[in-house]
Amino acid sequence: MQNIFELEYSKVENILNNIGEKSYRIKQIYQWIFQKKITNFSQMSSLSKNLRNYLEETFTIGLPKIVTINNSVDGSQKFLLELSDKTNIEMVLIPHLNKNTLCISSQVGCARKCSFCATAQMGLIRNLTIAEIVGQVYLAQLELGDKRLTNIVFMGMGEPFDNYDNVISAVKMLQNKEMFKISPRRITLSTSGVIPGIEKLSREGIRVKLAISLNSAIPEKRKTLMPITNKYSIPELKKTLQNYSHRTHFPVTFEYVMIRNFNMGKDDIKALIKFVGDLSCKINLIPWNSLNYLSYESPSKMEITDFSEKLKRINSAVTIRKSRGNDINAACGQLAFHSINDKNSLL
Ligand code: SF4
């Protein structure tokens, strides 16, 4: 038996065409799943009994299990999910004005060892399957009921490009009009700078928003924050992004976690301005939220304003991401909402 969420639409279509079912039947199945939110094939009453039996014998619709939901005062909700092998991941639903954004995970843990990231402390346990990635989105849609899920960000646990194939298949399913129907402009892949992944994405012409968790344009500092810089250097990253922009004409967003007395000085601004240069991009500034088991410090309001004003002098859109309570403060899986207690529950 296969989880139907593991298969792209065209694959399910092929399987059912091979047993003589017309393509409109497949549309009907997906209408039951996505519009009526029915996950039991036997209840899909517009299908023939034979087809319902076949579906029940061939596919499952397996979803991650919700273990806990933590509600923030600002309305965000953090979900601790359990997967079939009893490992855990998290996702966060962030309502804001008329938007509902879901921050999802792509791996259980992460191998990239970024020093500011709670997920990094778990190490990599495994990649998520396609079904486990899109299952998070389906669960969130069930939770939202009549409200629409508008945006998806791959900024939860894991480096999406370290699980490239499954993430891209999931993205295709999220965009598919018969399935999740989410616009490419509303799906963001956030990476720590895995150059082969960025190159592959641009060559394959997958339409999504690309975010780079940058955090410093000074090589030694970025190496301290993000050891991936030892493998993929800052100049190589810049070159790759120039090619990406040239090929796709999509703007890039840089995520920059502001850490007091570390990456907010004159040299940092100078390096950042030089790095960004002529790239068509946005810069998202994220104030570091102190975690009591990491030694970095949060900047003051004045330091944040000062830093952002100086950056605005360059020809880029600079925004300060509002911290959502203490729950959400994420750049590329920087799950700052992993409090030490949560972390313990994940390990
Ligand atoms: S910031 Fe992203 S890439 Fe770095 S360790 Fe955390 S999850 Fe992995």
pLDDT, tens only, 288-335: 877 666 788 989 999 999 999 999 877 668 998 876 545 444 433 345
List the catalytic residue out of 6, 90, 159, 255. 90
For residue 113, give both structure tokens: 């060892």
State in Å: Cα 338 to ligand 1 middle. Answer: 13
CATH of the domain at 298: 3.20.20.70
Residue 132 is a catalytic residue:
no
Cα separations in angstroms, 84 against 151, 267, 315: 26, 48, 48
State in Å: Cα 109 to ligand 1 middle. Answer: 9
Count of structural domains, the chain: 2
Determine which of 39-48, 251-260, 305-314, 320-329 has the lowest per-residue pLDDT on average: 320-329
Same domain for 55 and 144: no
pLDDT tens by residue, 182-238: 999 999 999 999 999 999 999 998 999 999 999 999 999 999 999 999 999 999 999
Helices 266-276 & 301-311, crossing angle to 10 degrees? Answer: 40
List the catalytic residue out of 110, 117, 281, 332. 332
CATH of the domain at 26: 1.10.150.530
Same domain for 139 and 39: no
Same domain for 19 and 42: yes
Q: How far apart are CA 343 and CA 347, in angstroms?
A: 6
Same domain for 228 and 267: yes
Cβ of 120 closer than 6 Å to ligand 1, yes or no, is yes
Same domain for 201 and 276: yes
Asked if residues 192 and 226 have their Cβ atoms less than 8 Å apart, the reply is yes
Q: How far apart are CA 252 and CA 191, in angstroms?
A: 11
Q: How far apart are CA 29 and CA 15, in angstroms?
A: 13
Which atom belonging to ligand 1 lies closest to the Cα atom of 192? 3
State in Å: Cα 159 to ligand 1 middle. Answer: 6
Same domain for 82 and 36: no
To the question of pTM greater than 0.75 for the whole model, the response is yes
State in Å: Cα 73 to ligand 1 middle. Answer: 26
Domain boundary among 41, 60, 79: 60
The residue whose CA has the least distance to atom 4 of ligand 1 is: 114
Same domain for 157 and 36: no
Domain boundary among 14, 41, 60: 60
Quote the mean pLDDT of the chain: 90
Asked if residues 26 and 9 have their Cβ atoms less than 8 Å apart, the reply is yes
Same domain for 122 and 28: no
Residue 90 is a catalytic residue:
yes
For residue 215, give both structure tokens: 């955090």
pLDDT tens by residue, 114-168: 998 888 989 999 999 999 999 999 999 999 999 999 999 999 999 999 999 999 9
Asked if residues 119 and 110 have their Cβ atoms less than 8 Å apart, the reply is yes
The pLDDT of residue 347 is 22
Same domain for 155 and 27: no
The pLDDT of residue 292 is 60
User: Residue 21 sits in which domain range?
Assistant: 2-60
Same domain for 130 and 55: no
The partner residues of 328 in beta bridges, in order of sequence, read 324
Cβ of 338 closer than 6 Å to ligand 1, yes or no, is no
The amino acid at residue 65 is K
Cα separations in angstroms, 125 against 11, 179, 191, 346: 28, 29, 18, 11
Same domain for 120 and 40: no
Region 59-70: mean pLDDT is 95
Same domain for 181 and 46: no
